[in-house]
Amino acid sequence: MTTAGAGVGRGHLSRSLTLAETLAGLGATVTLELAAGRLEGASAARAERLGIGGTSAGGTGSVVVVDLPDLSGVESRAPVARLVVFDDRDAFGGEAAIVIQPSMPSWAGAGRAGRVLAGFAYAPVPRDYVDMRDAEAAQGSTEPEVVVCFGGSDPAFVTRRLAGVVSGVDDWRTTIIVGADYAGGLKELPSAVHDPDDLPARLARADLVVLGAGTMKFEVACLGRPAILLAVADDQLAAGPPFAATGAAAYLGDGRTIAPDVVLAAVRGLVADVERRIAMGRTAAAVIDGGGADRLAMAILSLTG
């Protein structure tokens, strides 16, 4: 069970689909339930390939996996022995068979779990990104490419605040990408690429990525790309620092309030420091090895035995 609701980003939906793909590949029958919103674009295509749909009616599968921003009342979705809950915000106060906390090194929720899967090793990354792990960016090229992307919706308009200052420099080429649910007007970002079908390939070619500290940081890290992280939502304020502490990225703070010049200085510094970018990218690929979805799927399937 997940959501495609407006204003909540695409992270919950994307990793639910990634987990569904992995479970289906292992022979499981998967049903997708949407608490809000509907499947569109690439998400709808992924669901169609799997033969699952977005419905508002609860299923009766042997295991129920819940990935929602608001976890209140999820205990009613399934018996404890077959309830699995994603809890990035350490907000779950109920009881579940498995609690998954992929955004922090440990889980600090008030609830109880038969098993806790915490840490970056449990971040599910779509197969499109895992398959591109060996792609090589032109590190140290005469015209490095910086990709700026703040997720599927960017409700705080961080792209509008910061993309201009990053793109207004001749020392690198900038690509601005906005997601399918981008909350701002596209006319204000005439050079932006809107919801590209080849997003994994675009990120794989980047010399540096400037992005939010949400789910996309795992995808960029899996590709082995150096990154600058900025919080674009309240829950990302806590998630950015521990991931950066691994050496996989640099975290600058709250993108909704940070001075644009601070971001520009960080980009300029990393573009100029090829060795640091290469080291950061190697660390990122080691931290996010692409096996998170497989680890989660095996743990979930163990509940069906």
Pairwise pLDDT comparison (187 vs 265), residue with the higher score:
265
Cross-strand partners of 250? 228
pLDDT confidence tier of residue 92, bands split at 50, 70 and 90: very high
Q: Do 17 and 158 reside in the same domain of the chain?
A: no
Share of the chain above pLDDT 90, in %: 66
Please write the tens of the pLDDT for every residue from 199-240. 999 999 999 999 999 999 999 999 999 999 999 999 899 999
Q: Do 300 and 260 reside in the same domain of the chain?
A: no
Q: Do 96 and 142 reside in the same domain of the chain?
A: no
User: What is the rounded average pLDDT of the residues 106-133?
Assistant: 95
Query: Which range (15-29, 34-48, 116-130, 168-182) has the least confidence?
Result: 34-48
131 contacts 304 by C-beta, under 8 angstroms: no
Q: Do 121 and 132 reside in the same domain of the chain?
A: no
Residue 56 has a pLDDT of 47
**Which distant-in-sequence residues (6+ apart) come within 8 Å of 291 by Cβ?**
121
**What domain range is 56 assigned to?**
2-125+291-304
Q: Do 38 and 145 reside in the same domain of the chain?
A: no
Average pLDDT across the chain, whole number: 89
Residue 214 has a pLDDT of 92
The tokens for 166 are 């990053």
Residue 55 has a pLDDT of 53
Kindly tell me if the per-residue pLDDT of 10 is higher than 90: no
pLDDT confidence tier of residue 49, bands split at 50, 70 and 90: confident
Residue 70 has a pLDDT of 86
Residue 54 has a pLDDT of 56
Kindly tell me if the per-residue pLDDT of 57 is higher than 60: no
Q: Do 106 and 189 reside in the same domain of the chain?
A: no
User: What is the rounded average pLDDT of the residues 111-123?
Assistant: 97
Residue 187 has a pLDDT of 76
| CA pair distance 277, 167, nearest whole angstrom | 19
CATH number, residue 263: 3.40.50.2000
Q: Do 92 and 235 reside in the same domain of the chain?
A: no
The count of structural domains within the chain is 2
Kindly tell me if the per-residue pLDDT of 61 is higher than 70: no
Crossing angle (nearest 10°) for helices 11-25 and 41-50: 20
| CA pair distance 288, 121, nearest whole angstrom | 6
Q: Do 213 and 196 reside in the same domain of the chain?
A: yes
Pairwise pLDDT comparison (7 vs 158), residue with the higher score:
158
Q: Do 260 and 150 reside in the same domain of the chain?
A: yes
Pairwise pLDDT comparison (195 vs 241), residue with the higher score:
241
Q: Do 295 and 274 reside in the same domain of the chain?
A: no
Please write the tens of the pLDDT for every residue from 131-173. 998 765 555 457 899 999 998 788 889 999 999 999 988 899 9
- By C-alpha distance, which of 18, 280, 212 is closest to 128? 18
183 contacts 192 by C-beta, under 8 angstroms: no
Residue 291 has a pLDDT of 96
Residue 58 has a pLDDT of 47
Residue 159 has a pLDDT of 94
| CA pair distance 139, 8, nearest whole angstrom | 34
Q: Do 75 and 154 reside in the same domain of the chain?
A: no
Q: Do 77 and 106 reside in the same domain of the chain?
A: yes
Please write the tens of the pLDDT for every residue from 230-283. 999 998 999 999 999 999 999 999 999 999 999 999 999 999 999 999 999 999
